[in-house]
Amino acid sequence: MDTMMDITFLNQPLMFGRNQATDDSELGIREVADMLDISIRAIRFYEQKGLLTPRRDGRFRVYNESEVSQLRFIQEFRGIGLTIREIKILLADLSKARSDEKKTEIINQYLDKRLREIGQDIDVLRDQEYRVICMLGGPAATGEARLEQATC
């Protein structure tokens, strides 16, 4: 596919309190969790898996704008079904990219692959749906008008 993903969501400014974040702004784990509507447990899980490495200030995790953006990125790609392993590889691939164009190309490769996988999943689910409808007596018996022409 030749479509290009709009990756501007990765660079959206973050609001820390009432002021826009600066490079030296830092947040605690609770603030990050609240900001991104994610559980603290999930954030710690991503850290454990090596997807995120916040600075420590004594016993406390401290997140800067870059780490919060990375967490937003992880959330987006988990949301479309990428595994932790796939995201870890994607992040490693992106860290090696020398330009935004190359990063966009890498991201689009992952998205194209995921789109193909989703299409295959849909095909499997449609087949399963058809088989269940047939087991229930066919489209007429289940009221599935969209499958009226199908024969079981």
Query: Which tokens belong to 60?
Result: 């406390």
| pLDDT (0 to 100) of residue 124 | 96
Cβ burial, residue 87 (10 Å; 0-12/13-18/19+): buried
| pLDDT (0 to 100) of residue 97 | 92
Residue 103 CA to residue 109 CA, distance in Å, equals 10
Query: Which tokens belong to 76?
Result: 């987006």
Contacting residues for 60 by C-beta, under 8 A, at least 6 apart:
28, 29
- CA dihedral 44→72→23→17, nearest 10 degrees, is -90
Q: Measured on CA atoms in the order 30, 36, 39, 41, is the torsion positive or negative?
A: negative
| pLDDT (0 to 100) of residue 91 | 94
How high is the mean pLDDT in each 10-residue block of the chain (152 residues)?
50 40 74 96 95 90 92 96 96 93 94 97 93 84 70 76
CATH 1.10.1660.10 given to domain 1-96: yes
Of 81, 86, 83, 77, nearest to 118 by C-alpha is 81
| pLDDT (0 to 100) of residue 8 | 53
Of 46, 67, 45, 44, nearest to 55 by C-alpha is 67
**What does the domain layout of the chain look like in residue ranges?**
1-96, 99-152
CA angle centred on 62, ends 57 and 64, rounded to 5°: 135
Residue 90 CA to residue 62 CA, distance in Å, equals 24
| pLDDT (0 to 100) of residue 14 | 38
Quote the pTM value.
Answer: 0.74
